[in-house]
Structure 1
Amino acid sequence: MTGRSYTEKILLKAVRLDTAIYSAHTNLDVLNNGVSRKMAEKLNLKNVRVLVPLKNRLLKLVTYVPENHLDKVREAVFEAGAGVIGNYDFCGFSAHGAGSFRGNESTNPFVGEKGKVHFEKEARFETVMFTHMKAQVIKALLEAHPYEEPAYDIYALENDNIGTGMGCTGELSEPMAEAEFLKYLSAVFEARGLRHSRLTGKTVNKVALCGGSGGLLFRDAIAAGADAFVTGEIKYHTFIEAGERLLLTDIGHYESEKFATEILYDLIIKKFPKFALRFSEINTNPINYL
């Protein structure tokens, strides 16, 4: 590193000050309580939903447990992060039947005798998990399961992950005229350089949001039935393409993400309640306005 670029200067200064840097980008964008959700919170939107859910990120976990150990195993995999569907957690299903197995001479079966076929009353328990949680959930399963060799299956799911994804939609507490809505945005986000498409004359009720450079999601906003789409960067030709199908609003990249520090603050203070935290008062927006 030479310190020629803005990023290199930051890294070199961090090294000199023995300071750790945590950088969250797309992961914070798609988080259920991430950047776009924080925008919705600041606008007091209700009925908030993900605009573009993530795909191919869900797995189905199925395991077979002795009936009297079901609660222990179920609790363990839920605590490890499995069983989340949208705004619900601890989601699972169980059915009862009989399992059979026979261990060889090197085994030490929890029930039954080695070398003999054993039938045990078992529960088939199934739940869902995100792909990135696979290792920790399976670890919890194996630790809680009483069998020497627990049986479990993992299936890839085609379902959209409705709890995480890019952007979100929500409804205003009360519908607003477009001009009133633009003033509201400007005040909430302190957007001095707010840009918008031509007013359509429609009332704004349903709003689509995407923090950062989310201009390409305007088609998804239209498909979702939004009256307005708010993001941090929109190209010239996107304004043309959107026409008067909805109110397109660019509040500024920095302005759309400025409250991300509150997200990180809440996450850290929840994990480390005695940790001293302080919000920086330095304005790092590289764009200035007259």
Structure 2
Amino acid sequence: MKLKIKDITSFLEGMAPLSSQESYDNSGLIVGNHDMEVTQVLLSLDCIEETVEEAISIGANLIIAHHPIVFGGLKQLNGKNYVERTVIKAIKNDIAIYSIHTNLDNYKLGVNYEIAKRIGIENPKVLAPKKNVLKKLVFFCPEDHVDAVTDAVFNAGGGNIGEYSECSFTSSGEGTFLPSENANPTVGTKGNRETAKEKRIEVLISSHKESQIVRAMMAAHPYEEVAHDIYTLSNYNQDEGAGMIGELSSAMETTQFLSHLKKEFNCGAIRHTALIKDKIKTVAFCGGSGSFLLGNAKSQQADIYITGDFKYHEFFDAEKAIIIADIGHFESEQYTPHLILALLKKNFINFAFHLSKVNTNPINYF
């Protein structure tokens, strides 16, 4: 069976849907056609001219990068900067470019989970869970079909709460309906009002899975017309959001922890605030540019907050309550291609995926 781009992107978006990316982002297929057959795939943190040249050299026609090569609209393509030159080179060589950026950042087992494993964090939790991304599906079903319909809803992704699956609430009642002459009722007869014993089932669903879950419910339900309600919830989704926080298995001396961090992430340097803690136990972190989460890390009493791209004045915001450790944007996310590779290998066992050997870090240390 020939593998197409959409086979790979659909798999990735099943875990990290495009709808969960931030408003400023540009994740998705940037260059190429979803129906194009894939030869080989190159995985990288960034996609620049050298990355495209590497893809050409190994015969790959799909580059999956964490960072989008295009953030804003391109008004011209004449090669005046590296963005335009990269896109032109990709198009000329029939190479597709796909980005999986903040949607992978916000995925519970995404970028920050990979960082957690590298640091040695146990049971990491999302630092800033997203709000207004959960819904409640309520549907009504005859008693003898409850198991079949709820199973369909669960299999489609409904009923997940944290580490628990197949979660629902059921209550009993009676439903009434009057089939018209054009109806094809499962229960009762045309023109006569029917009273049936039914169950009301309530299930929590993620917004991005709403369509597939409702379709599954409809397909498994015996009724011609399925009574159901969908409510938008203001609850926080603990499985989706920015950054993570967790604990080391045992506390480490602060300087020992920083040495561990520098070695694990190959840091040229770690910029940090005053080492006000003798030991580190609770660690908060965010891949990339995460200064916006400092308040979350402080409020959850982390000993240290690790990210990249802190500005000078933002270091003052530590307020002697937490240690800020800026390890660098590239350094914090450098293992993202390894994460994507591990995810893809679980589903596409006999396909060639390559980790890029191009160091795209634009920052050097003297």
Corresponding residue number in structure 1 for 2:3? none
Which deviates more from structure 2 when the two are superposed, residues 81-90 or residues 168-177? 81-90
C-alpha displacement of 1:274 = 2.3
1:9 aligns with 2:85: yes
Corresponding residue number in structure 2 for 1:207? 283
Once the two structures are superposed, residues 38-77 of structure 1 have per-residue CA deviations (whole angstroms, 9 ceiling, x without a partner) of 1111112013111111001110000011122112211211
Q: What is the rounded CA distance, in whole Å, between the counterparts of 1:8 and 1:228 in structure 2?
A: 39
Q: Is the 8 A contact 1:170 1:208 kept in 2?
A: yes
Q: Is the 8 A contact 1:76 1:141 kept in 2?
A: yes
Structure 2 residue identity aligned to 1:19: I
Corresponding residue number in structure 2 for 1:168? 244
Q: What is the rounded CA distance, in whole Å, between the counterparts of 2:277 and 2:221 in structure 1?
A: 62
Corresponding residue number in structure 2 for 1:114? 190
1:18 aligns with 2:94: yes
Structure 2 residue identity aligned to 1:245: A
Listed as ranges, the matches of 1:123-134 within 5 Å are 123-134=199-210
1:238 aligns with 2:314: yes
Once the two structures are superposed, residues 66-93 of structure 1 have per-residue CA deviations (whole angstroms, 9 ceiling, x without a partner) of 1221122112112222112122222212
Once the two structures are superposed, residues 67-126 of structure 1 have per-residue CA deviations (whole angstroms, 9 ceiling, x without a partner) of 221122112112222112122222212222222211111100011111111122222111
Once the two structures are superposed, residues 124-159 of structure 1 have per-residue CA deviations (whole angstroms, 9 ceiling, x without a partner) of 111111111111111111111111000000011111
1:228 aligns with 2:304: yes
Listed as ranges, the matches of 1:1-290 within 5 Å are 1-290=77-366
Identity %: 43
Q: What is the rounded CA distance, in whole Å, between the counterparts of 1:19 and 1:238 in structure 2?
A: 40
Q: Is the 8 A contact 2:277 2:303 kept in 1?
A: no
Corresponding residue number in structure 1 for 2:64? none
Q: What is the rounded CA distance, in whole Å, between the counterparts of 2:150 and 2:308 in structure 1?
A: 42
Q: SS at the partner of 1:229?
A: strand
Higher relative contact order (CA 8 A, sep 6+): 1
Q: SS at the partner of 2:234?
A: coil
Once the two structures are superposed, residues 149-197 of structure 1 have per-residue CA deviations (whole angstroms, 9 ceiling, x without a partner) of 0000001111111111110101011101111111011011111122111
Q: What is the rounded CA distance, in whole Å, between the counterparts of 2:318 and 2:143 in structure 1?
A: 58
Q: Is the 8 A contact 1:82 1:137 kept in 2?
A: yes
Q: What is the rounded CA distance, in whole Å, between the counterparts of 2:347 and 2:87 in structure 1?
A: 26
Q: TM-score, normalised by structure 2?
A: 0.77
In structure 1, runs of 5+ residues without a counterpart are none
Q: SS at the partner of 2:289?
A: coil
Q: SS at the partner of 2:250?
A: strand
C-alpha displacement of 1:254 = 0.6
Q: Is the 8 A contact 1:87 1:163 kept in 2?
A: no
Q: SS at the partner of 2:259?
A: helix
Q: Is the 8 A contact 2:277 2:323 kept in 1?
A: no
Structure 2 residue identity aligned to 1:186: K
Provide the alpha-carbon RMSD of the alignment.
Answer: 1.3
Q: What is the rounded CA distance, in whole Å, between the counterparts of 2:362 and 2:95 in structure 1?
A: 22
Q: SS at the partner of 2:97?
A: coil
Q: What is the rounded CA distance, in whole Å, between the counterparts of 1:222 and 1:18 in structure 2?
A: 48
In structure 2, runs of 5+ residues without a counterpart are 1-76
Count of residue pairs brought into register by the alignment: 290
Q: TM-score, normalised by structure 1?
A: 0.96
Which deviates more from structure 2 when the two are superposed, residues 131-140 or residues 244-253? 131-140
Q: What is the rounded CA distance, in whole Å, between the counterparts of 1:34 and 1:157 in structure 2?
A: 24
